[in-house]
Amino acid sequence: MTSNGFLQIAVYVIVLLGLAKPLGGYMARIYRDKSIRPMRWVGSIESLIYRLGGVKPEQEMRWTEYAAALLVFNLLGLIAVYALQRFQSYLPLNPQHLAAVTPDSAFNTAVSFATNTNWQGYGGETTMSYLTQTLGLTVQNFASAATGMAVLVALIRGFIRRNQETIGNFWVDMTRSTLYILLPLSLLLALALVAQGVVQTFSPYQTVALAEAVSYEQPKLGADGQPVKNHEGKPVLEKIEVREQTLALGPAASQIAIKQLGTNGGGFFNVNSAHPFENPTPLSNFLEMLSILLIPAALCYTFGAMVGDTRQGWAILAAMTVIFVALVFVTVPAEQYGNPVLASLGTDQAPSAAQPGGNMEGKETRFGIVNSALWAVVTTSASNGSVNAMHDSFTPIGGMIPMWLMQLGEVVYGGVGSGLYGMIVFALVAVFVAGLMIGRTPEYLGKKIEAFEMKMASVAILIPPLVVLGGAAIAVMVAAGKSSVFNPGAHGFSEVLYAFSSAGNNNGSAFAGLSANTPFYNFMLGLAMLFARYWLAVPVLAIAGSLAAKKIVPAGSGTLPTHTPLFMALLIGTVLMVGALTFIPALALGPIVEHLQMTK
């Protein structure tokens, strides 16, 4: 690794952690229902929304009511996105006259955006009209992020409240997350991105003249639309000369801003943030990468502030950061080392002041190795899933780390809200394990952790691995699953395992060689995303409800303090142990075998 590489990574981590306290403190005020002076006028918009929506903001909900509101709201959003895709050819703002999306792909995409996964089986610029992108996908980018934040806030209330039946109001938590946090940040980021060159327009695609004409051959089609064949039965090729370039445009910046801030990750264009119109400069890259982890990291501080002991938040943030930094320093060197196969062909892969070197297949020159590999770790530690390089072309180890980060359950920072509530579930398991070791009833933040909480925590931790491993196993057994594989050998298995790891943890990134836009994968991955999202969110709300009803026990001499390095180590150990024991056998069949083949 180069010294500049260390510098870029260090600056990133320092800025990220430096913003955790100011933003986290601001969010704590928002969720405590305090108004922020310069944003007081937003309060009138907020009340207007409640009035028009027929919502009584002061009405508290039990956890079951909270969960029902969340599920119905997400279901309606899913239906809206499905309908927009199916009818886009009849609707306005479709200057490229894109056709209706197929039912299976539309289902998959609707689930994907409602569940904050943003797995994409389609290519944006060739599939979705401007109307579908803004009115459907952008809205769900906000809604799904706000949903995750609402669940987290409800869980935090579970720790704060004592002997109460209710955990807050879903509509209020969702609306305040959107109005005070996601929208203002998105507006700022979107404008900064446009300044760097991200497009934002409702005009049709732009045609420009090419400096040098390009020609290619394609099978000639007869009047019946079938390829014409010559006397040997081979298709006749015709030469096509292209003199113009069509530049895909669109209202990209507004969607990209929330795609990053809401840990959604769904690209406006097919290649996501590798596209120069989606991520044009190293600065736009830095801002987008920062936005991915900004809210998840800051929410740790919010958690600490809301439970009245900021050390609790810092401890969790520190545990996440330890895992994150360690894995950055596996992926970046793996990619910088490059590909021995290409080295033997006479390429120069040594980094220098004049070239990034390393494994450049699928990477952009302006980002080089460091920013591509760092982004891969960032996007998979958060449940973001946007990419600025093609993960399918990463080295085996460089691609394994992103896959494993997803398999850990998206709790190293994780998605907005969902990452921290996932990590708190792991913290419950950690105190439970510690409790077993010292023979006392486990407590966390003054709440006794009992059988009900542990059952719910087990459900939340075991469902994703079941979906990932079960789904991948089915896919490699049936023809419909195997026929979509693109790369041969162990890497092909990695493509399938990566797809289910991504969908089964609501990440959304892909080893994109896999042809996932087939009825089989659209359906299977759609199911995986639904399970992964709601079979976590609902048990977490159940835990919140159960905790809120308990009294708070004062810490005694037998209480395990949960802000110490000892607890951090215990938490890291729990996360890594579950992740390692569950997934190393599967990883051995994919990236590990491939690495051995590559270096033999």
Partner 1 sequence: MFKVIKPAAMMLVMLTLLTGVIYPALVTGLAQALFPAQANGSLIRDSQGKAVGSALIGQSFSNGKYFWGRPSATAPYPYNAGASSGSNLGPINPALADAVKTRIEALRAADPENKTPVPVDLVTASGSGLDPHISPAAAEYQVNRIAKARRIDPDKLREMVRSHTEGRQWGFLGEPKANVLALNRALDAIR
User: 198 to 237, contacts with partner 1 by CB under 8 A?
Assistant: 198-203, 205-212, 214-216, 218
Closest contact distance (angstroms) between CB of 178 and partner 1 is 7
| Range 538-542, long-range pairs (CB < 8 A, 24+ positions) | 538/67, 538/71, 539/456, 539/457, 539/459, 539/460, 540/151, 540/155, 540/421, 540/425, 540/456, 540/460, 541/63, 541/66, 541/67, 541/70, 541/151, 541/154, 541/155, 541/167, 542/63, 542/67, 542/452, 542/456
Task: Fill in the per-residue mask, 294 to 313: x = in contact with partner 1 (CB under 8 A), - = not in contact.
Answer: --------------------
Closest contact distance (angstroms) between CB of 284 and partner 1 is 9
Binding-site size, partner 1 (CB under 8 A)? 135
Burial of 108-137, coded b for 16+ CB within 10 Å and e otherwise, reads bbbbbbbbbbbbbbbebbebbbbbbbbbbb
Side-chain half-sphere CA neighbours of 354 within 13 A: 1
In the set 37, 38, 41, 52, which binds partner 1 (CB under 8 A)? 52
In the set 111, 152, 153, 249, which binds partner 1 (CB under 8 A)? 249
In the set 242, 462, 555, 581, which binds partner 1 (CB under 8 A)? 242
Decide if residue 99 touches partner 1 (CB under 8 A).
no
Q: Which is nearer to partner 1, 280 or 435 (CB)?
A: 280
2, two tokens: 């180069």
Decide if residue 453 touches partner 1 (CB under 8 A).
no
Decide if residue 160 touches partner 1 (CB under 8 A).
no
In the set 253, 332, 460, 578, which binds partner 1 (CB under 8 A)? 253
Q: DSSP 3-state assignment of 448?
A: strand
Residue 86 gets the label, from left (phi > 0), alpha (psi -120 to 50) or beta, of alpha
In the set 171, 324, 531, 534, which binds partner 1 (CB under 8 A)? 171
Closest CA to 505 of 592, 382, 375: 382
Q: Are 291 and 257 in contact (CB under 8 A)?
A: yes
Decide if residue 463 touches partner 1 (CB under 8 A).
no
Pick the piece of the chain touching partner 1 (CB under 8 A) from 324-332, 347-355, 426-434, 558-566.
347-355
| The residue to which tokens 């000892």 are assigned | 566
Q: Which is nearer to partner 1, 260 or 574 (CB)?
A: 260
Residue 57 DSSP symbol: T
In the set 87, 286, 329, 523, which binds partner 1 (CB under 8 A)? 286
Pick the piece of the chain touching partner 1 (CB under 8 A) from 274-282, 324-332, 443-451, 472-480.
274-282
Closest contact distance (angstroms) between CB of 369 and partner 1 is 8
Decide if residue 111 touches partner 1 (CB under 8 A).
no
Decide if residue 443 touches partner 1 (CB under 8 A).
no
First to last CA, the chain: 23
User: 181 to 200, contacts with partner 1 by CB under 8 A?
Assistant: 183, 186-187, 190-191, 194-200
Distance in angstroms (rounded) separating the CA atoms of residues 6 and 323: 17
Closest contact distance (angstroms) between CB of 48 and partner 1 is 9
Q: Residue 221: beta bridge partners? A: 227
In the set 166, 291, 395, 582, which binds partner 1 (CB under 8 A)? 395
Q: Are 119 and 529 in contact (CB under 8 A)?
A: yes
Q: DSSP 3-state assignment of 92?
A: coil
Q: Residue 245: beta bridge partners? A: 208
Q: Which is nearer to partner 1, 253 or 300 (CB)?
A: 253
Q: Which is nearer to partner 1, 334 or 411 (CB)?
A: 334
Q: What is the dihedral of CA 362, 368, 373, 378, to 10 degrees?
A: -110
Decide if residue 73 touches partner 1 (CB under 8 A).
yes
Decide if residue 486 touches partner 1 (CB under 8 A).
yes
Closest CA to 457 of 444, 471, 470: 444
Decide if residue 512 touches partner 1 (CB under 8 A).
yes
| The residue to which tokens 């459900």 are assigned | 459
Pick the piece of the chain touching partner 1 (CB under 8 A) from 26-34, 51-59, 320-328, 427-435.
51-59
Pick the piece of the chain touching partner 1 (CB under 8 A) from 263-271, 318-326, 409-417, 475-483.
263-271
Decide if residue 98 touches partner 1 (CB under 8 A).
no
Closest contact distance (angstroms) between CB of 466 and partner 1 is 27
Distance in angstroms (rounded) separating the CA atoms of residues 225 and 543: 59
In the set 1, 42, 100, 135, which binds partner 1 (CB under 8 A)? 135
